[in-house]
A = this chain, B = another copy of it.
Amino acid sequence: MKVTATFLDEITWDIPHQNWGPSEWDRDFAAMKKMGIGTVVLIRSGLARWLAYPSRYLHEKCGCAIPELDLIDLFLTLAEKHGMRFFCGTYVSQFYLGKGQPEKELEIDLKSAEEVWRLYGGRKAFRGWYLSHEFSGRNDALAELQAALGRRCKELSGGLPVLMSPFIRGRKEGNAWDPAILNGRESIDPEEHKRTWGGILEQLKGAVDIVAFQDGHTDYFELETYLRINRELCESFGMESWTNCESFDRDMPIKFLPIHWEKMLYKLRAAERAGFTEAITFEFSHFMSPYSIYGGAHGLYDRYMEYLEKQQKA
């Protein structure tokens, strides 16, 4: 069981920025490649007023700031240099959904995706899409939005694969600003998870090709059960199933620093037993990189490389 993909968490929602320029990113892509990562997935092309690319459309429509550094261009360039696939995350306005206007969110997300495809669609490394809205099945409007957005992305790009990474409404559900250990106040059990997501994946047929559930919201001992359900659900709808093996630790009061290697190993093995062959991680550059601003990531990289070596010998 190997980590073969990572998210790129710029523009971030709850993870502080590393303030890297092109040379730091180049070094980081080289480390990813060495670790066996072949696919990089931009978490989103923009969030609220902050953008990963200089979007005329979003600047005019939503007052977004035009960034100094065009991250989409940079990431494509580095993916090409290092022989990797790039999946582009869509835009998240973080505004209309909260106001109960998903159709406005969808309109903006679609226009931004069209602009992205116009600007970068011809690039060699542009090999897929990522639907940036994270959800857990409680929100019908979001499922519809994802379906429409996914279908449009495929249509634009001649059928490039579309990835999504929802979360499980497990015991550790909650948000990063929550005072207590993540509370899972509205958590559901595996059976309800299965029922709910059966309905949602039905809606998403033809719009989503790969589903990578986040693996951090369940207790460790329940993870394998959820992973099996997820794989079987995806298979039954003809979708690919990856695990999103999170490399940060949800159990600590500092939200978030790199996870303990023993915990990550536990999750990788649970995924292996559940029949998975592909893992993406959220995410390499903060939590697993030898160049991360967080020292715990340096050790996590070393431990993972030792694990890889052992696997290769075996």
* Chain A positions near chain B (C-beta within 8 angstroms): 12, 14-21, 24, 49-50, 63, 65, 67-69, 176-181, 220-221, 249, 252-263, 265-266, 292-300, 302-303, 306
Contact = CB atoms under 8 A, between A and B. Distances in A.
A233 to B, nearest CB: 25
A254 B178 CA distance: 11
B179 A177 contact: yes
A303 B19 contact: yes
B299 A20 contact: yes
A257 B16 contact: yes
A302 B293 CA distance: 14
Contacts of A17: 249, 258-261, 296, 299
Given A67-B262, A177-B180, 18 more contacts: A14-B253, A16-B254, A16-B257, A16-B260, A18-B295, A18-B296, A19-B299, A19-B300, A19-B302, A49-B220, A50-B262, A65-B262, A69-B262, A177-B179, A178-B179, A253-B255, A253-B256, A293-B294
B63 A253 contact: no
Nearest to A221: B63
7 contacts: A17-B249, A18-B299, A19-B303, A63-B221, A65-B266, A177-B180, A254-B255
A263 to B, nearest CB: 7
A302 B254 CA distance: 25
A255 B15 CA distance: 11
